[in-house]
Amino acid sequence: MDTISEERSSEPLSPTVRALGFVSLFADISSEMTYPINPLFITQVLGAPAWALGIIEGIAESTASLLKLYSGWLSDRMGMRKPFALVGYFMGAIGKPMVGVAGSWWQVLVARFVDRTGKGLRTAPRDALVSENCPPSQRGRAFGFHRSMDTFGAVLGPFLGFTLVRFWLGEGSLSHTFRTLYAVAFVPGILSVVILWAFVRERRRTDAGSSSERPALPTWRTLSPALRAYLAIVALFSLGNSSDAFLLLRAQKDMGADPMTLLLLYSSFNVVEAALGYPAGKLSDRVGRRVLIALGYGVFSVVYFGFAAFQNVAAVWFFFILYGLYYTLTQGIQRALAADLAHPDRRATEIGAFHMVVGLAALPASFMAGQLYDRVSHGAPFLLGASCAGAAAILLATLPIERMRHAT
């Protein structure tokens, strides 16, 4: 059974859901202050090739998503969510200054590994906290609010980074400027940990002590047919969804965007999701999640085709803003659909399985993107992404996942 009883979807979100939104706000300010400069730091300051960027981002994201399965499973078995989230957000906070002191690309890999390990530990238990502190009829709104706060941090982070570089840090060398920015990013990261510790209250599961009811690690066969079908489509899409670092690299190397413009670009596309994520989550509660996700995949396909076909700054701005619409239609709503399809007694575990599938695809996706970028053409990774997204959109739009769920 769900942790809380069914309530009217129009009631206010719980204090815990709202507090988790602020946790993500500050964590994303920390992350997005520095994420847009990662490709430049790795390739220009450290002198690493593009394939090293693909390895760093692929291993980092795959590690995060693999851990999401195990952290969700342990969270279900122990009946606790908050401790996993606390450790995870703390590791994310210290990962940023670790990048700043790196002297080679493999040291950046270690720092990103620590950062993404923290993300892997916290994500599934945190999503379970969101799901268990709202009724099912309010779930899209709760995840939409959380995603909007997350993305508002992604708006503020690059803008804050731009302001610091423009008015405070811009006098020194590129290396000194970037390294200082990584150190400053620790402050909002640790604030997210403090808010989580002080204001988030979790409902301890009353069945956690019964070993006979503790969930086992899921296998493909133990998942419901509806969840398996959904995860297979997500995997297809994710194989073409390489790290956003390649979008930033393409914008900088081929489309005329300078480092300052990259920070503003990354902030601007997040404005779209921050403004529309909450309404989109509410809309998914009414019209269904599948159609909105399929539409988002279609938008992604258009954006990636645009990055492959165009090479000017005006196109960068247009497609980055459109990219924000893809995030709006997918990021929170994908997690809400995974929570809908998950078994109530294994919710964190099966939400973790969703994240794991995304992560398993992250390493080959980014590795292939790096190889295509270096060895075929700078537009080739984006043609692959557009093709995978288009196929996933068609499958998700036509496959009756909701009917499969009810039949199960």
**Total of domains in the chain:** 1
Q: Would 133 be classed as within a structural domain?
A: yes
Instruction: Tell me the mean pLDDT in the region 310-324.
Output: 86
Q: Would 76 be classed as within a structural domain?
A: yes
Q: Would 138 be classed as within a structural domain?
A: yes
Tens digit of each residue's pLDDT (9 = 90 or more) over 83-117:
999 999 999 999 999 998 998 989 999 999 999 89
Tens digit of each residue's pLDDT (9 = 90 or more) over 156-184:
888 888 888 777 766 667 788 889 999 99
Tens digit of each residue's pLDDT (9 = 90 or more) over 204-223:
655 544 444 556 666 677 77
Q: How confident is the model at residue 366 (pLDDT cuts 50, 70, 90)?
A: confident
- The CATH number assigned to the domain holding 174 equals 1.20.1250.20
Q: Would 293 be classed as within a structural domain?
A: yes
User: Mean pLDDT for the chain?
Assistant: 83
Q: Would 228 be classed as within a structural domain?
A: yes
Instruction: Tell me the mean pLDDT in the region 347-366.
Output: 80
pLDDT score for 406: 53
pLDDT score for 205: 57
Tens digit of each residue's pLDDT (9 = 90 or more) over 235-244:
999 999 987 8
Domain of residue 139 covers: 15-202+223-407
**Cα–Cα distances in Å, from 247 out to 29, 150, 390?**
20, 20, 18
pLDDT score for 228: 87
Q: Would 382 be classed as within a structural domain?
A: yes
Tens digit of each residue's pLDDT (9 = 90 or more) over 392-402:
999 999 887 76
**Whole-model pTM?**
0.69
Instruction: Tell me the mean pLDDT in the region 44-73.
Output: 80
**Stronger pLDDT, 61 or 153, i.e. the higher one:** 153
pLDDT score for 209: 45
Q: Would 217 be classed as within a structural domain?
A: no
Tens digit of each residue's pLDDT (9 = 90 or more) over 126-161:
988 988 888 877 888 888 888 789 878 878 888 888
Q: Would 5 be classed as within a structural domain?
A: no
Instruction: Tell me the mean pLDDT in the region 22-27.
Output: 95
